[in-house]
Structure 1
Amino acid sequence: MRIATEGSVEDLEELKRRLAELKTEHRDLDDVIARLIERAPFDQIQLQRLKKRKLSLKDQMSRLESQILPDIIA
């Protein structure tokens, strides 16, 4: 990934594209976790790893969203 220059339209589009990718992966993980839980017995370690990955994605999404829509100090 190239270094972003502040305010560039291309950079903003890249951030939005990456955010969309992360949201898709996050949603897919929801489905995988739900299917895993439906199967009994399920691998608890695998479930923990999937949930940890999902949380990591959520953190990345939050950071990207804050870059796209920076806080406005009132």
Structure 2
Amino acid sequence: MNAPSDLSMKSDDVLRYELVVFRAEHSDLDAAIRALQEVGTSDQLTIRRLKKKKLALKDRIANIEDRLTPDIIA
């Protein structure tokens, strides 16, 4: 995630690859959050940080999907 975030400079192939990576990471974070919540003795600060990171990934995924989806005027 240290790559430049300017989507206009990246090719569609790079964006598709990033989309796959970010979706996998988002899924992994979701599983980690669920596991921590099920334990019950988990640190709420850690869960909050993971949720914030998951939300940021969701936003990046949405931005990439918007970039890859052509604008169609109906």
Query: By the TM > 0.5 criterion, same fold?
Result: yes
The match for 1:33 is: 33
Which runs of 5 or more residues in structure 1 are unaligned?
A: 5-10
Residue identity in the other structure for 1:13: D
Alignment of 1:1-74 (within 5 A): 3-4=9-10, 11-74=11-74
- Residue 58 of structure 2 aligns to which amino acid in structure 1? K
CA shift, 1:71, in A, is: 2.8
- Sequence identity (%): 40
Which secondary structure state, in structure 1, belongs to the residue aligned with residue 50 of structure 2? helix
The 4+ residue runs of structure 1 with deviation greater than 2 A are: 1-4
Root mean square deviation of aligned Cα: 1.6
Whole-angstrom distance in 1 between the partners of 2:38 and 2:51: 15
Displacement, 1:41? 1.6
Residues 14-65 of structure 1 show CA distances to partners (whole Å, capped at 9, x for unaligned) of 1100000000000000110011001122111100000010000000000000
TM-score by length of 2: 0.83
TM-score, length-scaled by structure 1:
0.83
Q: In the alignment, which residue of structure 2 is the partner of 1:8?
A: none
